[in-house]
Amino acid sequence: MHHLLDPNRRVLEEWFSERGEPGYRVRQVEKWLFNEGRVHEPQEMTDLPARLRDQLAQDFQVWTSRLLRHDHAKDGTEKLLLELSAGGRIECVLLRDQSRKTICISSQVGCAMGCVFCASGLEGLERNLSGGEIVEQMLLLRRLLSADERITHIVVMGIGEPLANLDALLPALDVANDPGGLGISTRRITISTVGLPEAIRRLSRRQPHYHLAVSLHAPNDELRNRLVPVNSKIGIRKIVRAADEYFEVSGRRLTFEYVLLAGINDQPAHANRLAELLKGRPAL
């Protein structure tokens, strides 16, 4: 079965075309998925003929994941653990901060980056998520909101390295940004990365409108090689230069993330070297 949430519209366009249906049928389906929202299955798309709804249900799935656990925190945060029909488990999160409703989504099953403080990569990388699986997370989290609430921000900071799966991620974020999709401004979408210079440059060429957050965790290669093993093949200077290039193209202020680890990367000398590394850059 096809995934009805796949960002590639061509599959659905061809499906309707093969049945002699007009092109506007695709827009009808998308309206139910994203604007009307919260449909469970094609049979609920009441402006489609009944026969088409039955055929859609035979050939397409709206939801391809199974909820294994739903955690609630006192501050309103909710986390979903999902088992995917194509294999693997991922987590995604809804964060509430007054009027701000941020969702945090995953891009891969597992992770190949090997950060020593992160549980996501303990068993390595299993596979990339499809565009449909990424969009599905967005809609599942939106279903946790009341009718008068809406998603305001997206951060791609869940399981996996987003820039290692740009082919699926960018079409999914196009759906999030599209007024006919979730209608979320690119200014409210952030992609987090450990720093893959060539992928950052690719992002600069293809979609330089999202905010970029670079996870440094160390001010020099010696320490970063220990904390983020993939850095030994890259080097922190190359990452910072690629981030500079992204800023030049996008005009978006960069965020450099840093997890404080007691007695490892939290000493005054580390702070001083980090300040020297990032001096003069328009960054948070």
Question: Given the structure tokens 């809406």, which residue do they identify?
Answer: 150
CB 125 within 8 A of CB 162: no
Cα–Cα nearest to 28, from 44, 40, 7: 44
Per-residue pLDDT tens digits for 74-128: 999 999 999 999 999 999 999 999 999 999 999 999 999 999 999 998 889 999 9
Q: How many CA atoms lie within 13 A of 46 on its CB side?
A: 2
Q: Do domains 2-61 and 65-278 have the same CATH topology?
A: no
166-177 helix and 131-142 helix, angle to the nearest 10 degrees = 40
- The Cα–Cα gap between 183 and 152 comes to 9
What is the reported pLDDT for 1?
A: 84
Query: What Rg value do the Cα atoms of the chain yield, rounded?
Result: 20
Q: Give the pLDDT band of residue 38 (cuts 50, 70, 90).
A: low
What is the reported pLDDT for 179?
A: 92
Give pTM, 2 decimals.
0.95
CB 142 within 8 A of CB 151: yes
Cα–Cα nearest to 157, from 220, 115, 209, 123: 115
| Over residues 16-30, mean pLDDT | 95
The domains of the chain are located at: 2-61, 65-278
Per residue, the 3-state secondary structure of 96-160, as one string, reads EECCEEEEECCCEEECCCCCCCCHHHCCCEEEECCHHHHHHHHHHHHCCCCCCCCCCEEEECCCC
DSSP state of 34: I
**CATH code matching the domain that covers 2-61, chosen among 3.40.50.2300, 3.20.20.210, 3.30.365.10, 1.10.150.530:** 1.10.150.530
Please tell me the CATH code under which domain 65-278 is placed: 3.20.20.70
- The Cα–Cα gap between 206 and 86 comes to 28
| Over residues 138-151, mean pLDDT | 93
